[in-house]
């Protein structure tokens, strides 16, 4: 049985170009990895946008008259403002972390 290998692409690795020959089954797995990486990037961007929106709502809520009176009397934000701040900060941090420090699913 003879297996034919086709040259598909070049891969840059350690500042040198390495020719890599792929089997047809490997090509499908590479496309799956690329799709997985793209979906992780989309998730990171969605988390970042949702986090910024929640932080905006937290700021708007903290500037309301009722929240400022409550803060003056108790020294704390209302529960809804606190949750907006916590969830917004966590979502923003997760989105930035996934964008900056997310590793590719596979290394070649």
Helix, strand, coil percentages (3-state) for the chain, rounded to 5, are: 65, 15, 20
Closest by Cα among 60, 54, 56, 64 to 90: 54
Per-residue pLDDT tens over the stretch 16-72: 444 455 555 555 666 666 667 778 889 999 999 999 999 999 999 999 888 888 888
Per-residue pLDDT tens over the stretch 83-106: 999 999 999 999 999 999 876 655
pTM over 0.85: no
What are the residues whose beta carbons fall under 8 Å from the beta carbon of 92, sequence distance 6 or more? Answer: 47, 48, 51, 52, 54, 55
What is the C-alpha separation between 78 and 61, in angstroms, rounded? 9
Give the rounded distance of the alpha carbon of 65 from its chain centre: 35
């Amino acid at each position: 049985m003879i297996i034919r290998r086709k040259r598909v692409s070049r891969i840059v690795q350690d500042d040198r170009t390495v020719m890599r020959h792929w089997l047809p089954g490997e090509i499908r797995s590479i496309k799956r990895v690329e799709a997985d990486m793209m979906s992780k990037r989309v998730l990171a961007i969605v988390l970042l946008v949702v986090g910024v929106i929640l932080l905006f709502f937290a700021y708007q809520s903290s500037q309301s008259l009722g929240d400022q009176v409550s803060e003056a009397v108790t020294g704390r934000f209302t529960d809804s403002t606190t949750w907006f701040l916590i969830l917004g900060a966590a979502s923003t941090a997760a989105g930035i972390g996934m964008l900056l420090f997310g590793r590719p699913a596979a290394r070649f």
